[in-house]
Structure 1
Amino acid sequence: MSIKKDKIDIRSISLQTLQEHFIRMDEKSFRAKQVYEWLWKKSCFSFDEMSNISKELRNKLDENFVINNVKINNSQFSADKTIKNSFILHDTHLIEGVLIPTPGRMTACVSSQVGCSLTCKFCATGYMERKRNLNPDEIYDQVVLISKQAMENYGQPLTNIVYMGMGEPLLNYKNVMDSVEKITSEDGLNMAAKRITVSTAGIAKMIKKLGDDQVKFNLALSLHAANDEKRNTIMPINEQNSLKALAEALKYYYAKTKNPVTYEYIVFDGFNDTLQDAIELAKFCKHLPCKVNIIEYNPIAFASFINAGEDKIEAFADYLRKQGINTNLRRSRGKDIDAACGQLAIKDKVNQD
């Protein structure tokens, strides 16, 4: 009786390891470079599409390897042209990715984990259990699929990528960094690192590691309160990563990279919308060069948070600007299509079950 051998996930191995496999298969090692280019530069999801590879070699690849590519499970199209996707992984887990078109930009918002362990009270993903980290190729695939959507629907290429979907990127550090390398390298998608933003809920030691690694992409901190007591209430991660610890880590990061930081701040009605809250935020902003994005909130069924009134948000932003802080208002996108992070995946998971 023959024993069926498990196929190797071809995108989980390095070019050097692939070359070694080719030599063992009595194939020229330079062929491995051609296959690697098909995988990462041409974003090929099937060995049959590798037109400059012989049929015999393609058969060998199919016998020994597998491409565990991400597939679109469901897409929703908003009146504002936002496209929200639930993606299905090879092991049937669901994640989310969003195409956000704005004047002069096509932005892909991608996930880094299946679910999340941080339990932020205002985030739909925070009410999901973290199942596992995404592999670098699973993050890469989201970019490829959303980029294709941008061209097919709007005739424009992707310009920006934000790691602001499901999960905490800095708790999947290596795979996120490897995905950025595949997206930015000449042997990959060749996108500029400055077009990429990684958003974190705030893990001080990993922010310092970003500094040590002298990353070229942008860093955003999901802040939402510049007061430890309030931030502890909505973001339990703050209990182990206080604002003081985060400020120190961010100063270290800036000293190493010279990259300014973006603070994301949702102004919740009756929670963090007072002048005192704005004063505390302005004080926190003095630690290093930064800008503030005030983000309009997409309410979720699991929480009672709502946006502060328009007047309060404008007054809040106006105070920050008067303190010399670069402040932008970011309007909510895709309100009509479950656009809050995690909403579509939760709905599809219910339907799947």
Structure 2
Amino acid sequence: MEKQDIRKLNAVQLKDWFTKNGEQGFRAKQVHEWLWKKSALSFEQMTNLSLPTRELLNTNFEIRPLTVDQQQRSNDGTIKSSFKLYDGNLVEGVLIPSLHHDDIERDVAPRMTACVSSQVGCSLTCKFCATGYMDRKRNLDAAEIYDQVVAIDRQAKENYDVPLSNIVYMGMGEPLLNYKNVLESVDRITSADGLGMSPKRITVSTAGIAKMIRQLGDDAVKFNLALSLHAANDLKRDQIMPINESNTLEVLGDALSYFYKKTGTRITFEYILFYNFNDTLQDAQELWKFTKRVPAKINIIEYNPIAEANFKNTDPQTLDKFAGFLENKGVTVNVRRSRGKDIDAACGQLAGKK
């Protein structure tokens, strides 16, 4: 008989199980703490439970831990991990350390960001993203997302002696097409009986699923939302992000306004500048007009080439003019340089490759 994954049970279900099996209900709280606060991966680790209780758990349940299958380190200190799931599928996660010279000079601890995946593959087919050329095999469950965070936090401490400071759901997959598990994983990461991380240090990035953006507003989420925009007119966005055909910019704009009205959280727009495609001052004008709908900031992202596509990064002069136009309009603009490009760990390069 196949054992049940104990991390699929919530605290109430766990308490009911203990009671039905002649155990005291408070044992559920102890086990819950071992699973989500102490990140235990075996019942043997639960040393405040009696041996018979641990044996009872071991007979009926299993913990399905994610394991590091392969690890690569970039010249810039970025660490990419290929994680093996219990069923043999692979996903990738990245530790991105911000080793700024100014931080070192001021003796400030570097910021450690975990980039985690939410699906095995992806059902969207964004033309510039390596994951978009994969099939979507399945959603990750909340525990599998949580395990990536725990593993990357361990890497940050082992390699830099600094814990994780931020988490971005920008790895493989579209988070809002795995809505329930993504929100449950955030709850495990942020709750007092979990990892206790502030939701303001978490950003969920979407290619633009308007219905689910509205749902985030209704659920009054506390984390940050980023939209992968990359073009601010429908004709161009349709070419590179087919999801735009059913989630047009007008529909997305309305959804983002709704989200902001419900949460009060500023939106981050992510914009890759592709050479001779979306990098003109006209494109910057369209971007500015679109982002005026909600309080926002814009992250201009360096393009990271992939074998499947022929896009090129724009030149530095064009980037400077593009960013300067937006800044002159009063927009907050950050230019994000690639990290981990030499090990295919940069934005848009994750594809479960060994």
Q: Distance in 1 between matches of 2:348 and 2:332?
A: 29
Query: Which residue of 2 is the match for residue 193 of structure 1?
Result: 199
Confirm or deny: 8 A CA contact 1:124 1:340 kept in the other structure: no
Asked whether 1:323 is paired with 2:319, we answer: no
Deviations 1:277-303 (A, max 9, x none): 111001111101000000111111111
2: CA distance between counterparts of 1:61 and 1:212?
38
1:83 aligns to 2:79 (yes or no): yes
Instruction: Tell me, in whole angstroms, the C-alpha distance in 2 between the residues paired with 1:210 and 1:346.
Output: 29
Q: 2:267 is matched with which residue? A: 261
Cα distance in 1 for partners of 2:64, 2:146 equals: 12
What is the one-letter code of the residue matched to 1:326?
A: T
2:226 maps to what in 1?
Answer: 220
| Structure 2 Cα separation of the partners of residues 17 and 157 of structure 1 | 32
Mapping for residues 305-344 of structure 1, pairs under 5 Å: 305-340=311-346, 343=349
Does the aligned pair in 1 maintain the 2:172–2:351 contact within 8 Å?
no
Structure 2 residue runs without a partner (length 5+):
101-109
CA distance in 2 between counterparts of 1:47 and 1:9 reads 12
Distance across 1 between alignment mates of 2:352 and 2:257: 37
Alignment counterpart, residue 25 of structure 1, candidates 21, 28, 35: 21
Letter matched to residue 44 of structure 2? D
Over 3 Å counting, the alpha-carbon distance change for 1:162 and 1:246 in structure 2 is same
What is the aligned partner in structure 1 of residue 60 from structure 2?
64
Equivalent-residue separation in structure 2 for 1:156 and 1:340 (angstroms): 21
| Residue of structure 1 equivalent to 2:304 | 298
| CA displacement at 1:346 relative to structure 2 | 3.6
Of 162, 179, 189, 2:185 maps to 179
Query: For 2:343 and 2:218, how far apart are their aligned partners in 1?
Result: 40
Cα RMSD, aligned residues only: 1.0
| Counterpart residue number, 2:253 | 247
Distance (whole Å) between structure 2 residues aligned to residue 213 and residue 25 of structure 1: 35
- Aligned pair count? 344
Structure 1 stretches of 4+ moved >4 Å: 341-345
Letter in 2 for 1:64: N
- Specify the alignment match of 2:166 in structure 1: 160
| Partners of 1:228 and 1:243 within 8 A in 2 | yes
Check whether the contact 2:130–2:348 (CA below 8 A) recurs between aligned residues: yes
Q: Matches of 1:345 and 1:58 in 2, distance apart?
A: 39
Deviations 1:280-333, CA, capped at 9 Å, x for gaps: 001111101000000111111111111100111111111110010000000000
Structure 1 partner of 2:103: none
Provide, for residues 250-302 of structure 1, a one-character-per-residue CA deviation record: whole Å limited to 9, x for no partner. 01111111111000000001110111111100111110100000011111111
Instruction: Point out where structure 1 has 5 or more consecutive residues left out of the alignment.
Output: 349-353
Structure 2 SS opposite 1:263: strand
Residue aligned with 1:23, SS: helix
Scaled by the length of structure 2, the TM-score of the pair is 0.95
Cα drift, residue 340 of structure 1: 3.8
Q: How far off is 1:51 after superposition? A: 1.4
Query: Do 2:97 and 2:111's aligned partners in 1 also have CA atoms closer than 8 Å?
Result: yes
Structure 1 residue 126 and structure 2 residue 126: aligned? Answer: no
**TM-score normalised to structure 1 length:** 0.96
Partner residue, 1:238: 244
Q: How many angstroms does 1:347 deviate by?
A: 2.1
Q: Within 5 Å, which residues of 2 pair with 1:88-103? A: 88-102=84-98, 103=100
* Separation (CA, whole Å) in 1 of partners of 2:250 and 2:349: 32
CA contact (8 A) 1:166 1:341 kept: no
